[in-house]
Every structure is written in C-alpha cells, then in structure tokens.
A and B are shown apart, each in its own frame.
Chain A
Amino acid sequence: MFERFTDRARTVVRLAKTEADDLGHPVIGTEHLVLALLAEEGGIARGVLDGAGIVHAEVRAAVEAGDDAAALRSIGIDLAAVRASVEQRFGPGALERAEPAERGGFLFRRSKLPTRFNNGAKKTLELSLRVALSLKHNYIGTEHILLGVLKEERGSGGRLLRERGLSYDGALDLVRAALRDAA
C-alpha cells in the first residue's frame, strides 16, 4: 500500500520505526507515527503540528511516561526496586528474560523481537489512504498520515494530539489552508 506515499511520507513511516527503537518499544504504534511526524523536517503535517505548538520532546516524554514503570509507580510499586531484588538473586536481566515471549519487551521495553506495526498503526495508515481519497488526492503525504492518526479514535497517537488541542476537524482546516497556500 506504500506505492502512493510521497518520499516524505515514506520517511515518516521509516522514522516511526526509529522512534520505537529509540524508546525500546518492540511494536510500532500510532504514538510513534506522531513522533515521526514531529521529527520529519518540512512537509505539511510538520507545519500544522508546529502551528499547534506541539513539539517532539514534550510528546516523547509523555509517551515514555506511559511505560509500565510509570503505571506501577502510580500504585506504589517501584519496578526498579523489584528488578534489583530479582537480579540480586538471579543475575542481570533475569526479569526481562522471564517475561513471556508473546508479550516480550512490554514490561521493560527492551525486546529484541522484530519491530512491526500494531493494529492501530496499520489502521491509521489505511485511514490515511482513505482521507487522501476523500480529498481527491492521488498521493499520500505527511498531512494524510496526520489526519489518519487523528481519525483513528482509539489510538494513543490521536489521543496525544487531541490532548494538546489538535482535533481532526481543526487539522483538516489547517491542511486545506496549507494546500491552498502551496497551490
């Protein structure tokens, strides 16, 4: 489905993998697509995001805070302390190795499993195509990926953007304006 992607949109998809790798996340989700859109210089999506005051470092910090360590801390469990106690007896990395393979890496986000897109990210890329078609565009650019992320209502990427004040309708208006200016 990538044949209609612009070079920049392809770069965003590739960067999403880099973003996931950097965070040690084994699966690419919509949040990594958002980080990739924020990392790619130029392009319509980046312009819209910059205009909305959404910046890479802050969103990345929010994604990182969504890790299990933070979730466990919210109920008073110190994952680092649990790990230290386990490693004292069973050696370094013992807890990571004990994590069931099918879940591999979620607990500590350090899996060596091949990176792949989760269902939300796949659906988002499909929605990007649909958004492009509805706008009568014969290509998929970064702006369509951005709109796809926002259209996928259950994805964490869309939530991150909505929490920062960017709605689907708002983004669509900004994308249309940017395309008008470019024309």
Chain B
Amino acid sequence: MTEANDLAEAAASADPRIGLRAAVALRRLADALEVLQVDNARRQGWSWQEIADALDVTRQAVHKKHAGRAVPRQEG
C-alpha cells in the first residue's frame, strides 16, 4: 500500500527533475533485466522469434539489439 502511494506520489510529482530521474533509472533497470533474460532464453534454446514475441517487438529488432553479444554461461 505504501509503495502504491509512493508510486502515485512520484507519478504526480510537480518536480520534473524527480520524475524524469526516476524514468531514466527505470529504463536502465529494464534494459539490464532484458539483457539478463534474453541471455537466459538463448541458453535455454529459445529462437529469436520466440524471444521477440515475448518482448512484444519484431524479430529483427531483438536480433539487432542482442545477437551481437556473446551469451555468458550461467554463473553461481
């Protein structure tokens, strides 16, 4: 409940600096999570089309963004 209130508060924040800073941080977090899970999917043998469908983007888009990266083996 507190978190929902915080979210509502920040979303309605009159100070653009706070709101925009949060948007940037959120984008970075989302990008990192995407990389992590795309690698995870590749390790599990998913096709680019399957990954693209899950991400709700085109196969070309996901291939362009992620195919150049070596998939690290899972650690830990």
Contacts and interface: CB of A to CB of B under 8 A. Distances in A.
Interface in B22-42: 22, 24-26, 28-29, 31-33, 35-36, 39-40
Interface residue range, chain A: 20 to 34
Interface residue range, chain B: 20 to 34
A94 interface: yes
A97 B76 CA distance: 13
Nearest to B8: A76
A100 interface: yes
A105 B76 CA distance: 21
Nearest to A101: B69
A5 B10 CA distance: 44
Contacts of A100: 31-32, 35
Chain A binding site: helix, strand, loop or mixed by DSSP? helix
Chain B binding site: helix, strand, loop or mixed by DSSP? helix
Contacts of A92: 75-76
A71 B29 CA distance: 11
A106 interface: yes
Contacts of B6: 73-76
Contacts of B24: 68, 71
A98 B36 contact: yes
B28 A107 contact: yes
Interface of A: 66, 68-69, 71-77, 79, 82, 86-87, 90-92, 94-100, 103, 106-107
30 contacts: A66-B21, A68-B25, A69-B25, A71-B21, A71-B24, A74-B21, A76-B2, A76-B3, A76-B4, A77-B26, A82-B29, A82-B33, A86-B33, A87-B76, A90-B36, A90-B40, A90-B74, A90-B75, A91-B76, A94-B75, A94-B76, A95-B32, A95-B36, A98-B33, A98-B35, A98-B36, A99-B35, A100-B31, A100-B35, A106-B28
